[in-house]
Structure 1
Amino acid sequence: MSLSDDYGYEIRSLDSRIDDLETGLESLKTSFGYVDDLEYELRKIRSDVSDADDKADDVRNSIEDLEGVVRGQIADTDRALKKLTARIQVLEANLAAADKMPQADFDSFPASWRTLGELAGKSREARTMLLTPAERQSHSSSIRSYQEAVEQRDEQYSTVLTAAKSLATTAYGTTQHKQAAQAFLTSRQQADHFTRLAGQRAGLARRAQTALTQDRETRAHHAELIKEGEQAQKKLHWKLRMRISEALRNRALLPMWFVTVLGPVAPARDTESWLEAATSVLAYRVTYNITDHVLALGEQLEDDHPGRDQWRQELSKTLRRW
């Protein structure tokens, strides 16, 4: 065999091995591709499981929240049922002894009481024309804000004048002259800034000052009425409170309009708050001569009565408790 034949054999052998390696490489690529697919699927499954866990946590949290709401509603319902049961029991007892029980008089009052209510009502209307403490504070803040800007402006202009004098009396190029020039430039910029700021705040400050001035004049004009009305209201409340307490002490039958919003008896808890609410409702009826036998506060008026409307809203909110 010749040397060329030996090399030919070796070359063919290498070619065969290369083919085998290429075949093996393709097989490995296929296998790796399959593994990559499996890893992708595995990652996707893990992601889905994680999402499912998160959703499960959300569902559990929602269920816990709902359970809390339901428990609260059940507790409220239980309290309402107990309160209703107590009221029914009292009503049944009252009906059984209706012939023997006195009637609570919450609808007829002496003329002097109605005079007190009328004066208290006028005082309440006058108070609605006054600024509230929050409004006065807001207006005062607006004025102070403007004044502060003006003070800052004047202070910066004073610094500008001082720097200008120094520039006029010092030699150009000296340290003192340079410092004065820098102070002049900085202060002038600040002065311009506070001048603009004061201009922006001036309008609001003028309106605030006007409002406070009008409020002081209104207070001075109605001061005596407001003071007398507040005293009349306190006196009327005391008289009405005594009448309610006496009716409760005598176990008198209460009017329908009273029972509808406040119940047939005073509650065991928050009795003082309940009594204050009852007194305020009765004062409202006396003040505005309410005679409705069903509606505690009477019908809503269409006319504009700020003091009365505000009081009615306050009472309506208070009565929701009972």
Structure 2
Amino acid sequence: MTGEYDHQIRDLDSRIDALESDLRSLSGKFGYTEDLGYELRNIRDDIAGTEGKLDELDTDLRDHITDTNRALQRLIGQVRLLEGQLLASGGAQLADLDTVTQEQRRLARAVARGREASSVLLTPHERSAHQQRIQRFESTVEHHRQHRTAVISTVGKLTRTTAPGDREKAAAELAQALATEQHLRQTLDHQADLLKAADTALAADAQARAEKHGVIEAGKKAEQKLILALRSRLADAISQRKLLPTWFVTVLGSAPPAARTQQWLETATQVLLYRLTYDISDQVVALGDKPVGRGGPRTEWYKQLATDLRRWR
């Protein structure tokens, strides 16, 4: 809505500028501008009215956001109240999604180590970018080699030509060929630094992959085992109609949605895995405290989960 009114205001401003220009031109030519002046006043009134509506929309939007937040807090309170009443009456069991075995904790540590090891590797995008730099350099080298052959051919043509007109034409071709060859050499010089950086990065990545292969693979296998176990636990809790924990309900709801159920289950399982991997025991906040620092595998995982959870609120 606000974007639509912004567009209208910009359109009206453009009309005013055009009319003012016409007004000045007509004033000089005819000295009669009452109609234009009347239209300008109407347009300015329209702008004032539109800006007023825009302010009202902004106010309404802020009010809606505030009302939504209040409704969410009331909903959370109602969920907690219902949980307490059901548990007190013995009418329902509370699902235990946080208790784990020693074996699962061992697997969780393997997951953390594997993710930490993977974080120092180049991403597929980074590897592709380095490989493309190398390919561009090799392509430029081949282009330069072919053009040098063309320069030599042009020199031979110039030396064999005797007619003044033909020599002038051959000299112009040679000058153009030499300019292009110089440009290609400069391009190669520029790409040489990028090539060195790409070679270094790919070599370091290959070495890291070789050194950390075992840890990374162990982490992946551990993660697969935990995902299966946690997914099964969650599915059992839902099928048995157990009350899900407050920290779960506040971000994912009390039951799977009718639409996009598979995506919901995948996100929920990842939240369980994150809590297990980093030993999150907070009973209110699903992901616990935000990780300290700007980078690292835990921070990236936290950001991804926080983004995924917004779809279910």
> 2:114–2:215: 8 Å Cα contact kept in structure 1?
yes
Q: Which residue of 1 aligns with 2:243?
A: 253
Alignment counterpart, residue 274 of structure 1, candidates 264, 272, 283:
264
What are the superposed Cα offsets for residues 195-236 of structure 1, whole Å, 9 maximum, x if unpaired? 122212221222122212222222233233323322321221
| RMSD of aligned Cα (Å) | 3.5
1:159 CA drift (Å): 1.4
> 2:291–2:298: 8 Å Cα contact kept in structure 1?
no
CA gap 1:297/1:82 in 2 versus in 1, 3 angstroms = closer
Q: Is 1:133 aligned to residue 157 of structure 2?
A: no
> 1:120–1:230: 8 Å Cα contact kept in structure 2?
yes
Provide the C-alpha distance between the structure 2 equivalents of 1:123 and 1:223, rounded to a whole number of angstroms. 9
Alignment counterpart, residue 153 of structure 2, candidates 147, 162, 168:
162
1:289 CA drift (Å): 1.6
Provide the C-alpha distance between the structure 2 equivalents of 1:166 and 1:251, rounded to a whole number of angstroms. 89
1:240 CA drift (Å): 0.7
Stretches of structure 2 lacking an aligned partner (at least 5 in a row): 1-26
Give the structure-1-normalised TM-score: 0.72
1:306 CA drift (Å): 0.4
Q: Which residue of 2 aligns with 1:284?
A: 274
Q: Which residue of 1 aligns with 2:12?
A: none
Provide the C-alpha distance between the structure 2 equivalents of 1:201 and 1:50, rounded to a whole number of angstroms. 61
1:191 CA drift (Å): 0.7
- Is 88-97 or 118-127 further displaced after alignment? 88-97
CA gap 1:87/1:274 in 2 versus in 1, 3 angstroms = farther
Alignment counterpart, residue 98 of structure 1, candidates 73, 87, 93:
87
Q: Which residue of 1 aligns with 2:6?
A: none
Provide the C-alpha distance between the structure 2 equivalents of 1:252 and 1:76, rounded to a whole number of angstroms. 32
> 2:291–2:302: 8 Å Cα contact kept in structure 1?
no
Provide the C-alpha distance between the structure 2 equivalents of 1:59 and 1:90, rounded to a whole number of angstroms. 47
> 2:80–2:246: 8 Å Cα contact kept in structure 1?
no
Q: Is 1:119 aligned to residue 124 of structure 2?
A: no
CA gap 1:298/1:119 in 2 versus in 1, 3 angstroms = same
**Counterpart residue type for residue 276 of structure 1:** E
CA gap 1:219/1:297 in 2 versus in 1, 3 angstroms = same
CA gap 1:90/1:58 in 2 versus in 1, 3 angstroms = same
What are the superposed Cα offsets for residues 71-107 of structure 1, whole Å, 9 maximum, x if unpaired? 8889888987887777666555433321312221122
Alignment of 1:1-322 (within 5 A): 40=31, 42-43=32-33, 45-58=34-47, 91-99=80-88, 100=90, 101-168=92-159, 170=160, 172-173=162-163, 180-302=170-292, 306-321=296-311, 322=313
Equivalent residue pairs, number: 283
> 1:117–1:232: 8 Å Cα contact kept in structure 2?
yes
Provide the C-alpha distance between the structure 1 equivalents of 2:107 and 2:59, rounded to a whole number of angstroms. 48
CA gap 1:135/1:305 in 2 versus in 1, 3 angstroms = closer
Stretches of structure 1 lacking an aligned partner (at least 5 in a row): 1-35
Q: Which residue of 2 aligns with 1:15?
A: none
- Is 61-70 or 106-115 further displaced after alignment? 61-70
**Counterpart residue type for residue 43 of structure 2:** D
> 1:146–1:205: 8 Å Cα contact kept in structure 2?
yes
**Any idea what SS the aligned residue of 1:98 has?**
helix
Provide the C-alpha distance between the structure 2 equivalents of 1:121 and 1:298, rounded to a whole number of angstroms. 17
CA gap 1:83/1:256 in 2 versus in 1, 3 angstroms = closer
Provide the C-alpha distance between the structure 2 equivalents of 1:93 and 1:316, rounded to a whole number of angstroms. 26
Pick the structure with greater CA Rg. Answer: 1
1:180 CA drift (Å): 4.5
